[in-house]
Chain A
Amino acid sequence: MGVKAITDETFEEEVLNSSIPVLVDFWAPWCGPCRAIAPIIEELAEELEGKVKVCKCNVDENPITPGKFGIRAIPTLIIFKNGEAVESIVGAVSKATILNALNKVLEG
């Protein structure tokens, strides 16, 4: 399935109403670290297919959603479960760090 691009319009439907946890990667084309972690996000989407839904939100084209969550730095990764933001990671971090956060949410 890969990484699904979401917009301000589809955020509620795709993320808040999802039956499984969702990882949202807030990014923008101007941000080097965001582009650098994109392959890691793609890998996670494939490896966790069926367990976690992985989405990306371009903050340049969709300012409302990042505004709602007070995002002032990218990349920011937020994990949603049952319509709530439960974990947030700021900055370009390792795959292991993201995986740890996801596992915590999956087990919790």
Chain B
Amino acid sequence: MSDKIWDVAIIGGGPAGLTAYLYARRALLEALLIEKGPIGGQVLLTDLIENYPGFPEGIPGFELIQKMQEQVEKYGLNLVQKKAIALKPEGELKEILLEDKEVVKARTVILALGAGMRKLGIPGEKELTGKGVSYCATCDGPFFKNQIVAVIGGGNTALQEALYLTKFAKKVYLIHRRDAFRATPILQQRVKENPKIEIIWNTVLKEIKGKDSVEGVVTYNRQTGEEGFLEVAGVFIFIGHEPETEWLKGVVELDEKGFILVNQNMETSLKGVYACGDCISKPFRQIINACGEGAVAALSAEKYLESSH
């Protein structure tokens, strides 16, 4: 690319990054969005979002992202579809190195990296991904019509996706390692009332078995120490998120899990670098707070640029 110096480079095109971009452009800043995959991030995996205000009937994840994208495109979307692999301060500027060795220069940087789905890390998981092991019920649920599937997890996503899968599967085992769910009460109530869902408490998976596709899972009851085998055709894993911040170690401060530490103005430990959305260290990961943080990050960047002129 040219030697252009951007006012703000935003890395990540999910709700946090798109909101930051919107605010940056409305502040008349020269903004660049860097996104390695499709615009939208994890929201694309959600069938129906029911807790984003303004959509009383709920809205499919893809449609919400489409609307957010349309909104930023009104202000001109400068997009680079590449992966960022390094960030370093260079005098007053920041340099972002991209996967193809291209360098982006910017006065401020907003990290809106999102988070990846956490893996179980057990035998069979990687080998059978796409062959019955899935992290997206919306995408892959319809392949399991009238079959038996297992859902792993106890948070909002796990319960919501278990409910979604009952539209296709004839039975859904909901396997949770503890004896209570973390999910919001309304989802717990719906799960308990659904005749297709069988909850298996205090249980973890030891292995996912199958040759060309998933045939079953080896379970381990943490209370009784008993091992078991459940015949299932699909395993849907929703056990939380993990950050993709390995490349930022030593550049900005991270918490012990690798999430980026920020203050209430979304400032990281490196001046002129902000972070927002699922990649930051925080207790709740919702679309609504990702957007809020994106707005704050952009406004903070704007203030910083004004004061440094």
Point out residues on A near B: beta carbons under 8 Å. 28, 30-37, 39-40, 60, 70-76, 88, 90-96
Inter-chain residue pair count (beta carbon < 8 A): 86
Residue pair B132, A72 in contact (C-beta under 8 Å): yes
Chain A residue nearest to B43 (CB atoms) is A32
In the complex, how many residues of chain B place their beta carbon closer than 8 angstroms to a beta carbon of chain A? Answer: 34
Q: Among residues 72 to 108 in chain B, which have CB atoms less than 8 Å away from a CB atom of chain A?
A: 81-83, 99-100
From the candidates A73, A76, A90, A96, name the one contacting B99 in the complex (CB within 8 A). Answer: A96
Most buried by A among B65, B130, B140: B130
**What are 10 of the A-B contact pairs (CB < 8 Å)?**
A30-B139, A32-B45, A32-B46, A36-B37, A40-B38, A73-B130, A73-B139, A74-B139, A90-B129, A95-B81
Q: Among residues 98 to 139 in chain B, which have CB atoms less than 8 Å away from a CB atom of chain A?
A: 99-100, 129-132, 134, 136, 138-139
Residue pair A70, B212 in contact (C-beta under 8 Å): yes
Instruction: Please tell me if B39 contacts chain A, counting CB pairs below 8 Å.
Output: yes
Residue pair A40, B139 in contact (C-beta under 8 Å): no
Q: How far is the CA of A92 from the CA of B61 in the complex (A)?
A: 15
From the candidates B37, B81, B99, B213, name the one contacting A70 in the complex (CB within 8 A). Answer: B213
Instruction: Please tell me if B229 contacts chain A, counting CB pairs below 8 Å.
Output: no
Residue pair B131, A70 in contact (C-beta under 8 Å): yes
Chain A residue nearest to B130 (CB atoms) is A90
Assuming A30-B138, A33-B44, A74-B139, is B83 touching A96 (CB within 8 A)?
Answer: yes
From the candidates B83, B130, B132, B213, name the one contacting A94 in the complex (CB within 8 A). Answer: B83
Residue pair B136, A72 in contact (C-beta under 8 Å): no
Most buried by A among B39, B61, B132, B139: B139
From the candidates B38, B132, B138, name the one contacting A92 in the complex (CB within 8 A). Answer: B38
Instruction: Please tell me if B294 contacts chain A, counting CB pairs below 8 Å.
Output: no
CB-CB nearest 7 A-B residue pairs: A36-B38, A90-B130, A32-B62, A32-B44, A73-B130, A31-B139, A94-B36
Assuming A70-B213, A91-B130, A96-B82, is B142 touching A30 (CB within 8 A)?
Answer: yes
Q: How far is the CA of A76 from the CA of B36 in the complex (A)?
A: 18
Q: How far is the CA of A28 from the CA of B39 in the complex (A)?
A: 18
Instruction: Please tell me if B272 contacts chain A, counting CB pairs below 8 Å.
Output: no
Q: Which residues of A contact B258 (CB under 8 A)?
A: none
Q: How far is the CA of A95 from the CA of B45 in the complex (A)?
A: 19
Q: Among residues 198 to 219 in chain B, which have CB atoms less than 8 Å away from a CB atom of chain A?
A: 212-213
From the candidates B36, B44, B100, B234, name the one contacting A72 in the complex (CB within 8 A). Answer: B234
Q: Which residues of A contact B82 (CB under 8 A)?
A: 94, 96
Instruction: Please tell me if B143 contacts chain A, counting CB pairs below 8 Å.
Output: yes
Q: Which residues of A contact B45 (CB under 8 A)?
A: 32-33
Residue pair A74, B140 in contact (C-beta under 8 Å): yes
Chain A residue nearest to B35 (CB atoms) is A94
